[in-house]
Amino acid sequence: MGVVTAVSLRKGHHFSKTNSLSIRLLKGLGVDGDAHMGETVKHRSRVARDPTQPNLRQVHLLHEELFDELQAKDFIVRPGEMGENVTTRGVDLLGLPTGTRLSLGDAAVVEITGLRNPCVQIDRFQRGLMAATLDRDADGHLIRKAGIMSVVLTEGDVRPGDAIKIELPAEPHRPLQPV
């Protein structure tokens, strides 16, 4: 089992989010009061392409272990600063298959839809950070480390210190792809 180490939200469209004592997840919408909350896409680039697309990016989760890795490369990143709503520790988020359900705290449940595809805003935050969140596996395939995206299945409050329980989907498992 992993743990939630921080929760964050922001009303306006900004790269970083503000840490909070708790966030409320709303079924089918996302984080109450967050700029990316809604049934349809809210990320500006996606709205420009097709504002009727379903919002598969309601809740952004990021593993705190990435901050440790980035610190070794001389980057200082704190919870919420990469735009995530939920910062975790002790869960291999990137290794989970599409459709995995994560119970966050006592009630909230999210379903993983895919990987966050890092964009140039990361470099505007800290020059070179985007490259530091990308890697290659042994076969040369791109590895995106900037977190995962999910949709809210069950409403609930999420707080730092909350346990994370993992429910894998039925096999065959589908690896995460950018959404």
pLDDT in tens, 13-24: 999 999 999 999
Which fold is adopted by the domain 2-167? Answer: M1 Pyruvate Kinase; Domain 3 (2.40.33)
Q: Please compute the mean of the pLDDT values over residues 54-83 and round it to a whole number.
A: 97
Q: What is the rounded average pLDDT of the residues 58-80?
A: 97
Nearest to 25 by CA among 146, 93, 109, 127: 109
Tokens at 60, concatenated:
């952004």
Instruction: Give the pLDDT band of residue 44 (cuts 50, 70, 90).
Output: confident
DSSP state letter for 169: P
Answer whether residue 75 shows pLDDT above 90: yes
For all residues of the chain together, what is the average pLDDT? 96
pLDDT beyond 90 at 119: no
CA–CA separation, 37 and 11 (whole Å): 9
As a whole number of angstroms, the distance between CA 107 and CA 75 comes to: 35
Domain boundaries, the chain: 2-167
Name the burial class of residue 80, with classes exposed (0-12), middle (13-18) and buried (19+) by CB atoms within 10 angstroms of its CB.
Answer: buried
Count of beta carbons in the 10 Å neighbourhood of residue 48: 9
Cβ neighbours of residue 98 under 8 Å, at least 6 residues apart? 112, 113, 114, 169, 173, 174, 175, 176, 177
Enumerate residues 6+ apart whose C-beta is below 8 A from 145: 66, 69, 94, 133, 134, 135
What's residue 131's pLDDT?
95
> What residues are paired with 6 via a beta bridge?
87
**pTM, to two decimals:** 0.96
- Predicted pLDDT of residue 117: 87
